Structure 1
Amino acid sequence: MERLVQGVRALPGGRPAWCAGAVVLAGRGPVVAVEDATGWAVRYRSYDPERQRGVDLPRDRWEPMRVGTVFDLASLTKLFTAVAALQQVERGFLALDEEVRGHLPAFARGITVRQLLDHTSGLRPELPFHDHPGRAAQLALLWREAAAPAGGPAGAHLYSDLNLIALQLVLEQLTGLRLDALVREGITAPLGMLSTSYGPLAPQGVAATEDQRRPWAKADRGMVRGEVHDENAWALGGVAGHAGLFSTAQDLAVLCRTLLNGGAYGTARILGPDAVAALLDPPGLGFGVDQPYFMGELAGHGAAGHTGFTGTSLVLDRATDTFLVLLANTVHPCRRNGGSAPRAAAADCLARAVARAG
């Protein structure tokens, strides 16, 4: 299993050109097979656009990556929103095939809760909430889009942050609780995921993300650390259905094991097996299924997972009872398209190790 870590460190995409640092944690059944960290949680003080490189902090201020480093999960947040939604379905307060307009009247006819979860609502990928301060202005943007989705007819797959933002609004209206409270009370507290929460967080122990400045970013915020990287989640107050959660590899391993166990971990149960199957069975509700670009050789027989823009990812494979969490700060000090080759390489290592073990 040491090859799993070596794959992240040694492949061309896994060198610092892809990320400043990374944490990898993988397991099978109740056993954690590998848990390691490499590189730096914080290395740069800024980004130099003329030289297209990071400007280093003094060497004594570099902070090493540790297995307990906290990461901005970016779109892995969507998985928690999806679990929170299925909890309401299990309790009979929400139905997957009911129309969203029953909760949010601005939505066009025919768009269902299921379509928000599987990204077939027709909503475009995002809206510039970051350029429209104030909840009223932001909601006005969303309602215009929801009334006549610009992404195409409902039924076609189009990945959209707006789906999970809308689902957040449905859940909050339905329960009278903010999404952060729903996640805490329904998921992280029962499972003992004490390092998982929405920000802002004190920066110590948190991996830095980006030196956000226009024109490459959508806001001028400087080096971001402990606050959500996603500009829209930041504009929405830091608690959003599509982004905003922070966590560690160890906490995410607990979530993976919970889902592989059919919704239970130790004495806690957050979902029943049928709800877990709804999340993970193709095409997946909130989860992507069999996506080789980041799942590598784990894809092909029902592996499910997700990636996050900041460099995060997780994969769980019910067929072999294995999981892989790979967290990296690929946007430190600046966003770039580094691809997912290291993610796929790590998944390949895990798949081959499992095949050898039988």
Structure 2
Amino acid sequence: MEVLWGFFSERRVLCNHEVMTRVRDLLLTAHHGVVPAFAGAVVMAAESGVVTTQECVGETIAWADDARTPWSGESDPVTVDTLFDVASLTKLFTAAAVLIALDHSNERPDAPAHRFVPELGAAAARDITVAHLLTHTAGFAAEWRDAAPDAASADRFRATRPQFSPGSTHLYSCVGYIWAGFIAESITGERLDESMQRAIFEPLGMTRTGFTPSARAVGEPIAATEFQRSPARGLVHGHVHDEASWALGGIAGNAGLFSSARELLTFAELLRNGGLHDGYTILAPWVHSMLSTDQLPATIANHPGYGQAMGARVGDRSWMGTFANSGAIGHTGFTGTSLLTQPDGDRSVVFLSNRVHPSRDGTDLRVLRATIADAIAHTEEPE
């Protein structure tokens, strides 16, 4: 198994075979169900920077359409380096990119959002801060429904306005995170993918993580997602699954990143280690604090029942299992992905699958995520 630091160069063994067998059994049971939960999946976990669990099942593509017609073309076995559409795990990186940009500009999250995107200077949105966007308290709707990929899509999006008074209620919002991506672009003067590349991916050695892989990685093993009839996209493979991000060109603050279990585990370890990687500070202490601690007032309307950091959820028992009791942070993705870690603790866990292949009308993975997390939480170092 790999030591995460030094870009995975050193190798040593630290594994609990009983736990690894349990995780593999869980994945295989889900994979071989009457209705398979996914075509492929991988679980990768680390303790104190050393990989302790590494299990992969299935292939990148199994079906040609939503009737589950068997795929007759080429497919690849899933590995820890297979690229998955990580969906809303993108929000973790967007939050980090925005906060890093603020830090470099001597700004803080309480800055008015309209300072960076003038469209939010309208009366209904003028009180929105960057912090509101990053904690899902800006009052925007959950989804952007006018997501057609044409030349005017960005202009239509920029006309969106909040439904609730900023700071009054918690409402999980992809819309708010698309705005957050625009803010990162405004501060840095770079496109969102470029600012993430410079501030996050390059310092962490995440050479294969990014947006729009079909445009940059011909032949890269990528897990397929949904066969979409409306919109009529056919089998989505190598292109973003999320309709809003797709309409905006595949680069957006809410979704669109593709990454591997190996590289996501590196990012999880960054959050676990207080923003440090390989001895270097990647996240300023205040940035790490915003990314890893609850920012919601207890009195906020529609409290979600878990803590809300900027980007990550804190102690979400619905899918973190017993890790929630230790204040673990992380996020899930609609395509069948999740990442969790214990800030200042010991463990990080990444679970990637393509549960929306070939249709989103499949398995709810919350129980599986929690069960896998519990199996890993009980890992003990062998004597």
- TM-score after normalising by structure 2: 0.84
Structure 1 Cα separation of the partners of residues 167 and 195 of structure 2:
28
Instruction: Report Cα offsets for 1:53-99 as digits up to 9, x if no partner.
Output: x11023x7443222211101111111111111111232234321111
- Match in the other structure for 1:9: 27
Question: Are residue 263 (structure 1) and residue 275 (structure 2) matched?
Answer: yes
- Match in the other structure for 1:111: 128
SS of residue paired to 1:42: coil
Alignment partner of 2:50 out of 25, 31, 41: 31
- Match in the other structure for 1:338: 363
Alignment partner of 1:281 out of 293, 306, 310: 293
Is the CA contact (8 Å cut-off) linking 2:272 and 2:344 kept in structure 1? Answer: no
SS of residue paired to 1:63: coil
Residues 246 and 290 of structure 1, relative CA distance in 2, 3 Å threshold = same
Question: Are residue 314 (structure 1) and residue 328 (structure 2) matched?
Answer: no
Alignment partner of 1:165 out of 178, 198, 201: 178
- Match in the other structure for 1:51: none
Structure 1 Cα separation of the partners of residues 105 and 145 of structure 2:
34
- Give 2:202's aligned amino acid: A
CA RMSD of aligned residues (A): 2.1
1:106-145 mapped onto 2 (5 Å cutoff): 106-107=119-120, 108-131=125-148, 133-135=150-152, 137-143=153-159, 145=160
Structure 1 Cα separation of the partners of residues 315 and 209 of structure 2:
26
1:16-55 mapped onto 2 (5 Å cutoff): 17-48=36-67, 54-55=68-69
Is the CA contact (8 Å cut-off) linking 1:43 and 1:61 kept in structure 2? Answer: no
Q: Which has the higher strand share?
A: 1
- Give 1:210's aligned amino acid: E
Is the CA contact (8 Å cut-off) linking 1:123 and 1:152 kept in structure 2? Answer: no
Q: Which has the higher helix share?
A: 1
- Give 1:55's aligned amino acid: T
Structure 2 Cα separation of the partners of residues 203 and 5 of structure 1:
29
SS of residue paired to 1:33: strand
- Give 2:352's aligned amino acid: L
Structure 2 Cα separation of the partners of residues 47 and 303 of structure 1:
36
Note the C-alpha offset of 1:21.
1.3
- Between 10-19 and 252-261, the greater mean CA deviation after superposition: 10-19
Question: Are residue 96 (structure 1) and residue 109 (structure 2) matched?
Answer: yes
Residues 193 and 132 of structure 1, relative CA distance in 2, 3 Å threshold = closer
Structure 2 Cα separation of the partners of residues 191 and 83 of structure 1:
13
- Match in the other structure for 2:352: 327
- TM-score after normalising by structure 1: 0.90
SS of residue paired to 2:98: helix
Structure 2 Cα separation of the partners of residues 104 and 320 of structure 1:
37
Structure 1 Cα separation of the partners of residues 347 and 22 of structure 2:
13
Is the CA contact (8 Å cut-off) linking 1:122 and 1:156 kept in structure 2? Answer: yes
SS of residue paired to 1:97: coil
Is the CA contact (8 Å cut-off) linking 1:3 and 1:349 kept in structure 2? Answer: no
Question: Are residue 198 (structure 1) and residue 211 (structure 2) matched?
Answer: yes
Residues 251 and 206 of structure 1, relative CA distance in 2, 3 Å threshold = same
Structure 1 Cα separation of the partners of residues 344 and 283 of structure 2:
19
- Match in the other structure for 1:244: 256
Aligned length, in residue pairs = 343
Q: Which runs of 5+ in 1 are unaligned?
A: 49-53
Question: Are residue 208 (structure 1) and residue 224 (structure 2) matched?
Answer: yes
Note the C-alpha offset of 1:274.
2.6
- Give 1:57's aligned amino acid: W
- Match in the other structure for 2:8: none
- Give 2:255's aligned amino acid: A
- Between 124-133 and 248-257, the greater mean CA deviation after superposition: 124-133
SS of residue paired to 1:45: coil
Instruction: Report Cα offsets for 1:289-325 as digits up to 9, x if no partner.
Output: 1111110111022100001111110000125320000
Residues 151 and 19 of structure 1, relative CA distance in 2, 3 Å threshold = farther
- Give 1:302's aligned amino acid: G
- Match in the other structure for 2:237: 225
Question: Are residue 179 (structure 1) and residue 192 (structure 2) matched?
Answer: yes
